[in-house]
Amino acid sequence: MIQVGIVGGTGYVAGELLRILMYHPKAEVAFVYSHSHAGKKVQSVHEDLFMLDELRFTETVDPEVDAVFLSLGHGNSTRFLELHPFSPKTKIIDLSNDFRLQADSRWGERQFVYGLTEKNGEAITGAGNIANPGCFATAIQLALLPLAENHLLQDAVHVHGITGSTGAGRGLSETAHFSWRNNNLSVYKAFVHQHLDEIKEILTQCQPDFGQEVNFVPLRGDFTRGIFVSAYTRCDLSAKALTELYEGFYAPKLFTKVMPDNVNLKQVVNTNYCLVHVEKQDDKAFVTAVIDNLLKGAAGQAVENLNLMFGLGQEAGLRLKPSFF
């Protein structure tokens, strides 16, 4: 069994990692690190994990563990690794933005691979360290990847995305309170969202001559989990050719599916899938994509990366059913 550690164990993403790993056929949790909750039972925070009655948070790590997930706030992973060095044999999967950009991808002797499995699956296989993509970045990149890989992004891209409240993390803020969020909708970080840099970098890696703007307007939704993205850009392909492009590109991809009809969040919540729908409107390609922000946008994709790194089936532990009703 692969011995796995989780650092930053009290957050929503850590909870999802635990829910996946407790049924993973080839991995088991060696420790769950939380300085603030050390000694307490994991179920005292993740109340639905009452079946893990003996598992407790710890403020120590096993430096020889096979793999570790860093589920820390942005900017905190590098500081944690400085204070808690792991064996060179330990594979690191970081869920912050510390190592996502090429300029930040090397840390000491460690080289981090960007963990978008649909783009970098071959590089991820056998890799030592992974920078897990951001949740909005995952949905937007998967919406645009077939166009970029075929050098068909000719103009500016316009993106509208809405995310559930869990995307803001477990910490309380005014805009995370139920009384503010319920029956409400608001824009935040329009055109300057922190995921834009990694989105543009991947698109440019696919299509080096892409120098157009990605105009992204994110919104806070009045629901708990999920991301719904819609994007459009000028495209000369016919409707039939556009659909065939997307279907052909994603046919071999395990967790991204092209759907013939409009998609909705209930199809993917509690799963590791991204569903994509594409259509032609006048001279524009119009693409919608939906994911669960905590799974395909975070913990699920991180386990995909774990599976590929250790030569396991990509789907191990990830055969999850949507919560449709």
Q: Are residues 305 and 268 in the same domain?
A: no
pLDDT at 74: 84
Q: Are residues 139 and 61 in the same domain?
A: no
**Terminal-residue alpha carbon distance, the chain:** 35
Q: Are residues 174 and 235 in the same domain?
A: yes
Q: Are residues 34 and 71 in the same domain?
A: yes
Percent over 90 (pLDDT), the chain = 93
Asked whether residue 46 is assigned to any structural domain, the reply reads yes
Asked whether residue 318 is assigned to any structural domain, the reply reads no
- Distance CA(85)–CA(187), nearest Å, equals 40
* Residues 218/161, Cβ–Cβ less than 8 Å: yes
- Distance CA(236)–CA(245), nearest Å, equals 13
* Average of per-residue pLDDT across 124-133: 96
| pLDDT tens digit sequence for 286-300 | 999 999 999 999 999
Asked whether residue 281 is assigned to any structural domain, the reply reads yes
pLDDT at 57: 97
pLDDT at 262 over 90: yes
pLDDT at 61 over 70: yes
Asked whether residue 323 is assigned to any structural domain, the reply reads no
Average pLDDT, the chain: 96
Asked whether residue 324 is assigned to any structural domain, the reply reads no
Q: Are residues 171 and 227 in the same domain?
A: yes
* Average of per-residue pLDDT across 64-76: 94
Query: What is the number of domains present in the chain?
Result: 2
5 or 323, which is more confident: 5
Which residue type, as a one-letter code, is found at position 144?
L
| pLDDT tens digit sequence for 221-259 | 999 999 999 999 999 999 999 999 999 999 999 999 999
Helix, strand, coil shares, percent, the chain, to 5: 30, 25, 45
pLDDT at 172: 65
CA atoms within 13 A on the CB side of 221: 16
Q: Are residues 288 and 141 in the same domain?
A: yes
State which residues form the domain around 36: 2-131+296-309
Asked whether residue 29 is assigned to any structural domain, the reply reads yes
Q: Are residues 210 and 305 in the same domain?
A: no
- List Cβ<8 Å contacts ≥24 apart for 248-251: 249/145, 249/146, 249/149, 249/150, 250/118, 250/146, 250/276
Q: Can you give the pTM of this predicted structure?
A: 0.96
Among 100, 121, 116, 158, residue whose Cα is nearest residue 313? 121
Q: At what angle do helices 117-124 and 135-149 cross, to 10 degrees?
A: 90
Asked whether residue 142 is assigned to any structural domain, the reply reads yes
* Residues 183/121, Cβ–Cβ less than 8 Å: no
Annotated catalytic residues are: 135
Q: Are residues 204 and 115 in the same domain?
A: no
Confidence of residue 148 (pLDDT cuts 50, 70, 90): very high
Q: What is the DSSP letter of 276?
A: E
| pLDDT tens digit sequence for 86-109 | 999 999 999 999 999 999 999 999
* Average of per-residue pLDDT across 265-272: 97
Contacts of 18 (CB under 8 A, 6+ apart): 6, 9, 29, 32, 42, 46, 49, 52
Q: Residue 287's domain is classified under what CATH number?
A: 3.30.360.10
Q: Are residues 259 and 203 in the same domain?
A: yes
Q: Are residues 68 and 79 in the same domain?
A: yes
Asked whether residue 267 is assigned to any structural domain, the reply reads yes
- Distance CA(6)–CA(37), nearest Å, equals 14
Q: Residue 85's domain is classified under what CATH number?
A: 3.40.50.720
Q: Are residues 141 and 267 in the same domain?
A: yes
Q: Are residues 265 and 300 in the same domain?
A: no
